[in-house]
A = this chain, B = another copy of it.
Amino acid sequence: MALTVVGSVAFDALETPFGQRERILGGAATHFSLSASFFSRVNAVGIVGGDFGEAEWDVFRRHTINTTDIEIIPEGKTFFWSGRYDYDMNTAQTLDTQLNVFETFDPKLSEASRNAEYLFLANIQPTLQRQVREQCKDAKFVAMDTMNYWITSAKDELVKTIEAVDCMIINDAEARQLTEEPNIHKAARKILDFGLQALVIKRGEYGATLFTKDEFFVVPAYPLDSVFDPTGAGDTFAGGFMGYLASQSDVSTPVLRRAMIYGSVMASFNVEKFGTERVDALDYPEINQRFRDFKRMTHFDEIPFERATSVG
């Protein structure tokens, strides 16, 4: 089934201990749609400037992503973000943000985008997220991201938006901040109580946890000797997660669990190279191999302990 994503398309400048890039393709909608494209048909909704070139469009084309709804403002400039990571690769230090055309982003959805059964609202202003959600009347599963800035500056609007979706995909600090609850399990229950079917809490190098009303499911991060560039890991996770869901016939618990694994698989590839480089070059055998790696690193046999035979 089809999947629509609404969010930023950007140029990033990055400095990490392993190298730097002055201008590479980035943005939440970019990372998300590239990742999701391995599993589903994706419509990307965003905005770019006249500086967005053929090399960038080619990345979307290679993955058959529908870019009809990426608006082009020929006289404007594309959203630009510049950041630096130190050896602790968990958090970026923002050096520069130039919103450019993104400042007046007003998502316009074509019929194809509006009719998608699955919808992901990447991190944009919560009121805009809700307007998009309302345009997609037939969406059967809608997920959203947000960030600390909106939790602080637009909490009421944000809560109204959460109440209009089925799933949130956020990091643990955001979950704690949103609920003012330090214990992550209590925080998760408070967020589910906004009426969500599912909540995914991302925990960086510690993996991600899925919470539903009755249970939860923990996925560790894939072990990597070096994380090269974590930019876009969260959106790549969301892309694998939502892309896989959209490829299945229902959103059941076993499907959600596998979606968590595919999200983790895709995120683990994303951080191995700069920007979109690694995911752009991925193939299915690599994805399925890493999926099996996740199984090997988490599964065990269930043999209940029998006291009588062993102690004494």
Residues of A whose CB lies within 8 Å of any CB of B are 37-41, 64, 87-88, 182-183, 185-186, 203, 206-207, 209, 215-218, 220, 223-226, 244, 247-248, 254, 257-258, 260-262, 284, 287-288, 291-292, 295-305, 307, 310-312
Contact = CB atoms under 8 A, between A and B. Distances in A.
Contact of A291 (B215, B299, B302): B302
B182 A300 contact: no
A226 B186 CA distance: 9
A167 to B, nearest CB: 18
Nearest to A247: B310
Given A247-B310, A258-B301, 20 more contacts: A41-B312, A64-B312, A185-B225, A203-B206, A206-B206, A207-B220, A209-B220, A215-B296, A217-B300, A218-B297, A244-B305, A260-B300, A284-B305, A284-B307, A287-B305, A288-B305, A291-B304, A291-B305, A292-B302, A292-B304
A172 to B, nearest CB: 11
A247 B218 CA distance: 28
**Copies of the polypeptide in the assembly:** 2
Nearest to A285: B304
A288 to B, nearest CB: 4
A297 B203 CA distance: 16
Contacts of A203: 206
A226 B52 CA distance: 50
A254 B39 CA distance: 33
29 contacts: A40-B310, A183-B225, A185-B223, A185-B224, A185-B225, A203-B206, A207-B220, A215-B297, A216-B297, A217-B298, A218-B220, A218-B298, A220-B220, A247-B305, A247-B311, A248-B310, A254-B301, A257-B300, A257-B301, A258-B300, A258-B301, A258-B303, A260-B300, A262-B305, A284-B305, A284-B307, A291-B302, A291-B304, A291-B305
Nearest to A220: B218
A181 to B, nearest CB: 10
A186 to B, nearest CB: 6
Contact of A298 (B247, B298, B311): B298
Give me the 6 closest cross-chain CB pairs, A-B, nearest first: A218-B220, A247-B310, A257-B300, A288-B304, A206-B206, A185-B223
Contacts of A215: 296-297
Contacts of A216: 223, 297
Given A258-B301, A301-B254, A182 B87 contact: yes
A182 B305 CA distance: 37
Nearest to A210: B297
Contacts of A88: 182
A94 to B, nearest CB: 23
A40 B41 CA distance: 56
A61 to B, nearest CB: 15
Looking at A37, A262, A299, the one whose CB has the most chain B CB atoms below 10 A away is A299
Contacts of A220: 207, 209, 218, 220
